[in-house]
Amino acid sequence: MKITRRLLGKAALVLAGAALLMQVPAMAQDKPAPFDKPGAVKIALVRYLSTGDFFQAYLSGVEAQAKALGVDLRVLDSRQDAALQADMVDQAIALGVQGIIIQHGLTESMKEAAQRAVDAGIKVVAFDVNVENPKIPQIEQSDRDLARLALEQAIKDNGESWKAGYVYVAGIAPLDRRNETWVDFKKKYAGINEAAMFGTLDNPIANSVANQARSVLSANPDIKVMFAPYDEFAKGVKIAVDEAGLSQDIKIYSADISTSDIAAMREPDSAWAATAATNPAVVGQVSVRALAQLLAGEDPGHNVIVPPTLITQKDL
């Protein structure tokens, strides 16, 4: 795929912004304890969501940073089974890890599991799941800003009055934070009419959302904007929009970015107008760095925020 200079500039800003969040001593040539003994540190990544380009890139960032630090990484994937994810935290404890990254999940199932890890003397960080624990740093993508940037572009492109479809699944921390911004925008712009709200995390997510979107478009052919603040949601909506022959009548606004997302946005007459995103590989690296700081006796802060940027079709 041809990547334009403008897009490379956007990507560079995302990378630089995230990389400057943390300058971890563990990355220095003279590594502090416990990283001065290669292979002596064992950490676990306990995943709830893993389907899609974002999560593959996030995992690659975690793996790359773990390798750079010389730590033994174990990856435990619950595939959206909340009870299994909680059990996997216990498995990680039994494995004797020194640190755990909890990636997504449900507060009600992960709160007690995370506390059990802390009680066992294990350092824990959480990415995009609120475990309601002051001892556990929260890694976030600044989800409210992700939603704000996409919705501001929707207002810029379509004015302040339009009928919308909205893709949302409650109970997932980043989606809940993005939903807060959506609710605020509807209050600010009374002309936004939410004609339908739908969404699912059933695998494969994009195809499952496409099935829902077909029904929504059939019942609401006058929808002009689809707000789908997760790229797998946006992929599903685009499938349905393309099949309905509405790609020139509807605009899609999303969050997150991947190579395949860029390709979809660059298609002739693509309905996918804009997305707000961070670099998921860098978010993965930041997650490991925050955990490394805890293991080295340092404080990364309770909230580690990775700032996003807006990418539109014109940028591509």
User: For residues 215 and 308, what is the distance between their CA atoms, to the nearest angstrom?
Assistant: 32
Asked if residues 209 and 230 have their Cβ atoms less than 8 Å apart, the reply is no
Domains 5-141+279-307 and 143-277 share a fold: yes
Query: Where along the chain do its domains lie?
Result: 5-141+279-307, 143-277
Asked if residues 156 and 148 have their Cβ atoms less than 8 Å apart, the reply is no
User: For residues 175 and 73, what is the distance between their CA atoms, to the nearest angstrom?
Assistant: 28
User: For residues 144 and 148, what is the distance between their CA atoms, to the nearest angstrom?
Assistant: 6
Write out the chain's pLDDT in tens, 316 residues.
333 434 434 544 444 444 444 444 434 457 888 998 878 999 999 999 998 899 999 999 999 999 999 999 999 999 999 999 999 999 999 999 999 999 999 999 999 999 999 999 999 999 999 999 999 999 999 999 999 999 999 999 999 999 999 999 999 999 999 999 999 999 999 999 999 999 999 999 999 999 999 999 999 999 999 999 999 999 999 999 999 999 999 999 999 999 999 999 999 999 999 999 999 999 999 999 999 999 999 999 999 999 999 999 999 9
Domain 5-141+279-307: which topology? Rossmann fold (3.40.50)
What secondary structure, in 3-state letters, does 146-205 show?
HHHHHHHHHHHHHCCCEEEEEECCCCCHHHHHHHHHHHHHHHHCCCEEEEEEECCCCCCH
Q: For domain 143-277, which CATH number applies: 2.40.10.120, 3.40.50.2300, 3.40.50.1820, 1.10.150.530?
A: 3.40.50.2300
Asked if residues 205 and 52 have their Cβ atoms less than 8 Å apart, the reply is yes
Name the β-bridge partners of 251: 225
Name the β-bridge partners of 198: 167
